[in-house]
Amino acid sequence: MAWILTKESQHETISEIAKSSPRAAAIVAAAFLDERLTAAIHSRLLPLSKEIKNRMFGDHGMRTAAKVDLGFALGLYGQEALDDLTTIRKIRNTFAHKEEIRDFEHSEIDKLCKGLRL
């Protein structure tokens, strides 16, 4: 669980996103946001044992939807960010689970993107 990313690591991820296909870029960008959200949530919590951290944030821990809601409940961001993070999660899931969708011009993805506010 590497929640503290170096600037170099962040730049590498952003570079990877920029060079990827639209589908891969959406999935990697959403994973990057999920990691940043995990770090932000973790920064607001009491110190946790390794076991509890793993249950909450490990491979079988909270899904992104729950993290998005928890971040809002902790006051990390407001309603607009909550809505946009929920939309980004939907974009990621659409790309990941619908093989026929390959780019942001697809009507389903385009509609979701047009709903982003921030």
pLDDT tens digits, one per residue of 19-77: 999 999 999 999 999 999 999 999 999 999 999 999 999 989 999 999 999 999 999 99
State the pTM of this model.
0.89
Q: How many domains does the chain have?
A: 1
The answer to whether residue 1 sits within a structural domain is no
The answer to whether residue 103 sits within a structural domain is yes
CA dist., res. 86 & res. 34, Å (int): 11
Domain that holds residue 97: 7-114
Mean pLDDT of all residues in 70-93? 98
pLDDT of residue 81: 98
pLDDT confidence bin for 10, thresholds 50/70/90? confident
Chain centroid, CA 4 distance in Å: 15
pLDDT of residue 4: 66
The answer to whether residue 108 sits within a structural domain is yes
The answer to whether residue 34 sits within a structural domain is yes
The answer to whether residue 94 sits within a structural domain is yes
Tokens representing residue 3 in the block: 């929640």
The answer to whether residue 2 sits within a structural domain is no
- Confirm if 70 and 82 have CB atoms less than 8 A apart: no
